[in-house]
C-alpha cells in the first residue's frame, strides 16, 4: 500500500476521507492534512451567524481529534502548485511536500461581482469563517441592521434565514424573474415570495445592481430599475466556483468556468490514478445518469470523501452517484427540490398559494425522477413526505400501480413508500458495503470544547456524550 496520503482541504470531504482511510488501514499509512482554514463545517456557519452556537462549534477537528487519527496537520498553509508526475506539492512560503496519493478536497469559493463599489468595506460574500466574522463585525452595535443580499441562491438563502432569525431588516436583489431560480420553479417560487413578503423581506426580482456607494458606514445600493436601497451590510451571493486555480498545468484534468471542476470516476480518481478529488471541487457521477456533475452540497461531499478514502486505503468501492437535492428553510417556509425538478413533462402538481402549499412530482414512466415542495412545517406530513420522496428517488423504485394512487391521493406518499419497500431498500444499502462505524469525534468522551448556547444545543451535545 502507498504510505503517504496527502489531503488538501479541511472541509467535510477531507475529514470523511481521513476517517475512512483510518477505518480501513487502522493507522498503517502516513496522513498529512493541509488546509488554509481550520477544519470546520460551512453548514454550521448560519448557526453562528444567527447566534445559536458560538464560533468554536463550527469547527470539526482540533489537534486532539487529528492526533487520535494519527494525522499530521498543516493548518493555515495554502497549496500553490501540484506536480502530478513528480508526486510533489508546492506550498505557500515555497516549501514542498511529496506524496504517494493525493486527495484534492478544496471546495469552492464565491465569484465576485464586477460592479462599482464591490470593494467597499461592508460589501462582502458570506461563505467562510472570515466572512461570517466580518459580517458580524460590520453590524456590531447596530440595533436592527439593514442588509441587502445580491443573489438569491440556495446558500445565500440559508444565510438569509439566519439573519431573519436575528431580526435584521432584509432586502434581496435577484436578476432572474423569481427567487431561488436554480431550486424552485416559478409557481413554487411565487409561494415562497408571498411568504417572504409576509416576513417583511423586501424583494427586487428581474433587476440588477448597477453600483454601490458609501457615506461613512452606510451604503446605498443602486438598482438598474432606479430603486435605491440603504444598507449597513451588503452580501454578494452571486454564485461560487470550484477552487481549481492551483491545479492548472499540473497534469490533472480540470474543467474551467462555472460550474467547472475536476472530473472523477466512480472511485473518485482523477485522470491520474493516484490523485483523487472529492466534494464541491469534484465533477462526479450522478445517480441514475451517465452524466457527471458538481453537486455542491454537504451530503455529496461526505459521500465523495468516504468513497475516496476507501479507495485510497486500497479498497475497490464504487459510487452509485449523487442526487441533486436542496432542502431549505426560507424564513419559516420549508422548500425542497430533488432530481430533475426542471422537467415539465409528466407531472402531478397540487398548489394552494393562500395556504402556502406546493407539491409537484415529476415522472419518467412509473419512476419519480424529480420533485418540488413548499409548505409550512406545521402542515401534516410535509417534512416526512419530503424525506420519503427523497428515498424513492435514491432507490430508483418503480411505483407501478401506486402512480395512479398518488394521482388520486397526492398527500398520501406514506402508503406507496411502504408498499414498494423503499425503507427496506434504504436500510439494506450502505455506501461502503459494510455497516457504518462510530464516528471518530465521539471517541474518548469527547464533548463540546466550549459552552453550549441554549437548551436545544445542550440537549443535543449531552445525547451524543451519553
Ligand atoms: C454558509 C453555508 C451554508 C451551507 N449549508 C448547507 C446546507 O444546509 N446543506 C448542504 O447540503 N450544504 C450546505 N452548504 C454547502 C456545503 O457546506 C459544501 O457543499 C461543503 O462544505 C463542501 O465540502 P468540501 O469539503 O468539498 O469543501 P469545503 O467545505 O469548502 O472545504 C474546503 C477547504 O479547503 C480549503 N482550501 C481551498 N483551497 C486550498 C488550497 N489551495 N490549499 C489549502 N487549503 C485550501 C478551503 O479554505 C476550505 O477550508 C453550505 C455552504 C455554506 C457556505
Please state, in angstroms and as integers, the Cα–Cα distance from residue 146 to each residue in 45, 169, 221, following that order: 20, 5, 12
Return the pLDDT at 464: 47
Sequence-separated (6 or more) residues with CB below 8 Å from residue 41: 11, 12, 58, 60, 298
Whether residue 265 is predicted with pLDDT greater than 50 in this model: the reply is yes
Q: Residue 38, exposed/middle/buried by CB under 10 A (0-12, 13-18, 19+)?
A: middle
Residue nearest to atom 53 of ligand 1 (CA): 127
Whether residue 461 is predicted with pLDDT greater than 80 in this model: the reply is no
Q: Which residue has the cell 439573519?
A: 163
Sequence-separated (6 or more) residues with CB below 8 Å from residue 364: 340, 343, 345, 346
Q: Which residue has the cell 511529496?
A: 98
Q: Are strands 325-330 and 333-339 parallel, antiparallel or unpaired?
A: antiparallel
Whether residue 459 is predicted with pLDDT greater than 70 in this model: the reply is no
134-152 as b/e: b if 16+ CB within 10 A:
bbbebbeeeeebbbbbbbb
Return the pLDDT at 410: 86
Question: Rounded to whole angstroms, how far apart are CA atoms 56 and 153?
Answer: 26
Other beta carbons less than 10 A from residue 316's beta carbon? 7
Q: Which residue has the cell 503517504?
A: 4
Four-residue CA torsion sign, 226, 231, 235, 237: negative
Whether residue 1 is predicted with pLDDT greater than 60 in this model: the reply is no
Ligand 1: atom nearest CA of 297 is 19
Q: What is the pLDDT of residues 169-228, one digit of tens each?
A: 999 999 999 999 999 999 999 999 999 999 999 999 999 999 999 999 999 999 999 999
Measured from CB, residues less than 6 Å from any atom of ligand 1 are 8-14, 34-37, 42-43, 45-46, 78-79, 105-107, 127, 155, 158-159, 243, 246, 279-281, 296-299, 301
Return the pLDDT at 26: 86
Sequence-separated (6 or more) residues with CB below 8 Å from residue 456: none
Q: Output the CA 174–ligand 1 centroid distance in Å.
A: 24
Ligand 1: atom nearest CA of 159 is 1
Return the pLDDT at 442: 47
Q: Which residue has the cell 484534492?
A: 104
Report the residue among 11, 61, 125 best suited for mutation to probe ligand 1: largest number of ligand atoms under 8 A from its CB: 11
CB 178 within 8 Å of CB 190: yes
Residue nearest to atom 21 of ligand 1 (CA): 42
CA 271 vs. chain centroid, Å, equals: 25
Q: Output the CA 381–ligand 1 centroid distance in Å.
A: 31
Sequence-separated (6 or more) residues with CB below 8 Å from residue 46: 158, 159, 161, 162
Q: Are strands 209-215 and 218-223 parallel, antiparallel or unpaired?
A: antiparallel
Concatenating the DSSP letter of every residue in 110-130 gives EPP--STTTTSTTEE---SHH
Q: Of 268, 254, 266, which Cα lies nearest the Cα of 17?
A: 268
Whether residue 10 is predicted with pLDDT greater than 80 in this model: the reply is yes
Ligand 1: atom nearest CA of 38 is 49
Return the pLDDT at 381: 73
Q: What is the pLDDT of residues 53-104, one digit of tens each?
A: 999 999 999 998 999 899 999 999 999 999 999 999 999 989 999 999 999 9
Other beta carbons less than 10 A from residue 431's beta carbon? 15
Q: What is the pLDDT of residues 306-359, one digit of tens each?
A: 999 999 999 999 999 999 999 999 999 999 999 999 988 999 999 999 999 999
* Structural domains of the chain ordered from first start: 4-109+241-312 (3.50.50.60), 123-238 (3.50.50.60), 332-423 (3.30.390.30)
Return the pLDDT at 31: 98
Question: Rounded to whole angstroms, how far apart are CA atoms 306 and 432?
Answer: 8
Question: Rounded to whole angstroms, how far apart are CA atoms 461 and 455?
Answer: 10
Q: Which residue has the cell 469559493?
A: 109
3-class SS of residue 71: strand
Residue nearest to atom 20 of ligand 1 (CA): 298
Q: Output the CA 42–ligand 1 centroid distance in Å.
A: 5
Give the chain's radius of gyration (CA, Å).
23
Return the pLDDT at 455: 66
Whether residue 443 is predicted with pLDDT greater than 50 in this model: the reply is no
Four-residue CA torsion sign, 119, 161, 183, 127: positive
Q: What is the pLDDT of residues 369-417, one digit of tens each?
A: 999 999 998 876 777 889 999 999 999 999 999 999 999 998 899 999 9
Whether this prediction's pTM lies above 0.95 is answered by no
Ligand 1: atom nearest CA of 46 is 1
3-class SS of residue 319: coil
Four-residue CA torsion sign, 357, 286, 290, 393: negative
Cα dihedral 168/169/174/177 (nearest 10): 120
439-455: average pLDDT: 54
Report the percent of the chain where pLDDT is more than 90: 85
Ligand 1: atom nearest CA of 278 is 26
CA atoms in the 13 A half-sphere facing the CB of 63: 0
What is the chain's mean pLDDT, rounded? Answer: 92
Question: Which residue has better confidence, 27 or 232?
Answer: 232
Return the pLDDT at 219: 97
Amino acid at each position: 500500500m502507498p504510505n503517504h496520503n496527502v489531503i488538501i482541504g479541511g472541509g467535510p470531504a477531507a475529514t470523511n476521507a481521513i476517517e475512512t482511510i483510518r477505518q480501513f488501514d487502522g493507522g498503517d499509512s502516513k496522513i498529512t492534512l493541509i488546509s488554509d482554514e481550520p477544519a470546520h463545517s460551512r453548514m454550521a456557519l448560519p448557526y453562528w451567524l444567527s447566534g445559536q452556537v458560538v464560533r468554536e462549534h463550527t469547527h470539526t477537528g482540533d489537534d486532539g481529534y487529528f492526533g487520535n487519527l494519527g494525522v499530521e496537520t498543516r493548518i493555515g498553509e495554502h497549496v500553490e502548485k501540484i506536480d502530478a508526475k513528480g508526486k510533489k506539492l508546492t506550498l505557500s512560503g515555497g516549501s514542498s511536500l511529496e506524496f504517494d496519493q493525493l486527495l484534492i478536497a478544496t471546495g469552492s469559493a464565491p465569484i465576485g461581482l464586477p460592479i462599482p463599489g464591490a470593494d467597499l468595506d461592508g460589501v462582502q460574500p458570506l461563505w467562510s469563517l472570515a466572512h461570517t466574522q466580518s459580517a458580524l463585525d460590520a453590524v456590531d452595535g447596530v440595533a436592527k441592521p439593514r442588509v441587502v443580499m445580491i443573489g438569491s441562491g440556495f446558500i445565500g438563502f440559508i444565510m438569509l434565514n439566519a439573519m431573519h432569525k436575528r431580526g435584521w431588516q432584509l432586502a434581496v436583489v435577484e436578476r432572474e424573474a423569481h427567487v431561488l431560480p436554480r431550486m424552485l420553479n416559478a409557481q413554487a417560487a411565487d409561494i415562497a415570495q408571498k411568504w417572504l413578503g409576509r416576513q417583511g423581506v423586501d424583494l427586487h426580482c428581474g433587476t440588477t445592481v448597477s453600483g454601490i456607494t458609501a457615506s461613512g458606514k452606510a451604503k446605498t445600493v443602486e438598482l438598474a430599475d432606479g430603486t435605491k436601497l440603504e444598507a449597513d451590510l451588503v452580501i454578494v451571493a452571486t454564485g461560487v466556483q470550484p477552487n481549481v486555480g492551483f491545479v492548472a498545468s499540473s497534469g490533472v484534468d480540470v474543467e474551467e468556468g462555472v460550474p467547472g471542476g475536476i472530473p472523477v470516476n466512480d472511485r473518485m480518481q482523477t485522470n491520474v490514478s493516484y490523485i483523487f478529488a472529492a466534494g464541491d471541487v469534484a465533477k462526479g457521477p450522478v445517480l441514475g445518469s451517465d452524466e457527471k456533475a458538481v453537486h455542491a452540497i454537504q451530503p455529496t461531499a461526505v459521500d465523495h470523501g468516504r468513497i475516496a478514502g476507501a479507495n485510497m486505503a486500497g479498497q475497490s468501492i464504487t459510487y452509485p452517484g449523487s442526487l441533486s437535492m436542496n432542502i431549505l428553510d426560507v424564513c419559516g417556509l420549508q422548500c425542497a427540490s430533488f432530481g430533475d425538478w426542471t422537467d415539465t413533462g409528466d407531472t402531478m402538481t397540487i398548489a394552494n398559494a393562500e395556504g402556502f402549499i406546493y407539491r409537484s412530482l415529476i415522472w419518467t414512466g412509473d419512476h419519480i425522477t424529480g420533485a418540488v415542495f413548499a409548505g409550512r412545517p406545521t402542515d401534516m406530513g410535509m417534512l416526512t413526505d419530503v424525506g420519503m420522496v427523497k428515498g424513492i428517488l435514491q432507490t430508483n423504485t418503480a411505483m407501478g400501480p401506486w402512480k395512479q394512487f398518488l394521482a388520486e391521493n397526492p398527500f398520501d406518499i406514506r402508503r406507496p413508500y411502504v408498499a414498494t419497500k423503499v425503507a427496506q431498500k434504504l436500510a439494506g444499502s450502505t455506501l461502503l458495503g459494510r455497516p457504518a462505524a462510530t464516528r471518530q469525534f465521539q471517541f474518548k468522551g469527547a464533548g463540546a470544547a466550549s459552552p453550549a448556547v441554549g437548551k436545544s444545543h445542550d440537549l443535543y451535545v449531552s445525547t451524543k456524550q451519553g
